[in-house]
């Protein structure tokens, strides 16, 4: 069985990454997060916990861990001296407003937000899934992203970096995935639109790959377990790179995969931006004369 069967076909870059590398290493001095404050939602999970570790390793002033389970957050925080735990439901307007107000009062600044909280329903089709379960994917993946972005812009002036952990599933069609794929597509499009209203707020939509569950953290989908070889630390390092390397600014508003080599992506950034290669849209060339058909 080819462990790369669900990774290699979706490569933008010739180099495929499944574990951290030098360009996104938190120990890289050029990625220093010294003095920065970051909020990480879903911080008790596989990707979120690694994001928190990476930012702490890079010297962040404060890493605010957010999630529903205080016990899970405290477990992550135990090894991170800069960590602050804030238990909250990110689908609750009241909870999210209180979170951002608390960060503003305590630190007076916010430099980055990583939305790693998410849900995925994949075990029932449209006819069989309960409406509440179907909608939960929109609550966690879309509403929560809106709420955190809303209060970030409202309380901190609309500048900084947001990294939304999304999924390649947004662009694929598969049975039993309607709620998740549609929610992730909406999350990606929302990320594009934020920059139109707040140009100084850079938003990136990052597919983490098929992440290997480590130390009891992370989502396990049995049918994909043989292919789940991507390290959560890969997305963690990429989030740090996107927030600290000024070259990443050109990619704001785009979809990126953690499996793609960032140096190779940046080598082609002009083509990516000019041709909107990583933006949500219709592939046809629309215009007053219609699409230029091949025949």
Residues with a catalytic annotation lie at: 180
The torsion angles phi and psi of 177, rounded to 5 degrees, stand at -120, 15
Question: Cα torsion for 120, 123, 128, 130, to the nearest 10°?
Answer: -30
Sign of the Cα torsion 120, 124, 126, 130 reads negative
Q: Are 31 and 240 in contact (CB under 8 A)?
A: yes
Alpha carbon distance 71, 118 (integer Å): 18
Task: Report how far apart, in Å, the C-alpha atoms of 23 and of each of 28, 38, 188, 193 are.
Answer: 7, 20, 24, 28
Rg (CA), the chain: 19
What is the CB neighbour count within 10 angstroms for residue 77? 21
Q: Are 63 and 80 in contact (CB under 8 A)?
A: yes
Task: Report the distance separating Cα 113 and Cα 124, nearest Å.
Answer: 32
Helical spans, DSSP H, in 79-177: 93-107, 131-138, 144-156
| Strand ranges inside 110-241, DSSP E | 112-115, 160-165, 201-207
């Amino acid at each position: 069985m080819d462990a790369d069967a669900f990774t290699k076909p979706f490569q933008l870059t010739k180099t495929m990454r499944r574990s951290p590398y030098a360009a996104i290493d938190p120990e890289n001095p050029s990625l220093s997060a010294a003095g920065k404050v970051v909020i990480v939602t879903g911080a008790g999970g596989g990707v979120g916990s690694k994001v928190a570790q990476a930012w702490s390793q890079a010297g962040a002033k404060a890493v605010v861990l957010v999630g529903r389970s205080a016990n899970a957050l405290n477990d992550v925080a135990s090894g991170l001296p800069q960590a602050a735990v804030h238990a909250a439901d990110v689908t609750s307007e009241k909870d999210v407003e209180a979170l951002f107000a608390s960060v503003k009062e305590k630190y007076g600044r916010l430099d980055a937000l990583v939305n790693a909280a998410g849900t995925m329903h994949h075990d029932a089709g449209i006819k069989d899934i309960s409406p509440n379960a179907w909608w939960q994917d929109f609550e966690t993946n879309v509403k929560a992203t809106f709420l955190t972005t809303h209060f970030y812009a409202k309380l901190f002036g609309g500048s900084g970096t947001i990294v939304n952990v999304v999924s390649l599933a947004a662009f694929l069609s598969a049975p039993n995935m309607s709620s998740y794929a549609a929610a992730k597509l909406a999350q990606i499009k929302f990320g594009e639109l934020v920059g139109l209203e707040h140009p100084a707020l850079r938003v990136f939509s990052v597919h983490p790959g098929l992440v290997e569950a480590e130390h009891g953290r992370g989502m396990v989908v049995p049918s994909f377990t043989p292919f789940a070889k991507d390290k959560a630390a890969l997305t963690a390092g990429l989030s740090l790179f996107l927030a600290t390397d000024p070259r990443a600014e050109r990619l704001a508003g785009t979809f990126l995969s953690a499996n793609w080599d960032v140096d190779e992506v940046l080598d082609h950034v002009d083509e990516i931006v000019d041709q909107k290669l990583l933006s949500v849209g219709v592939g046809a060339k629309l215009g007053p004369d219609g699409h230029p058909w091949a025949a």
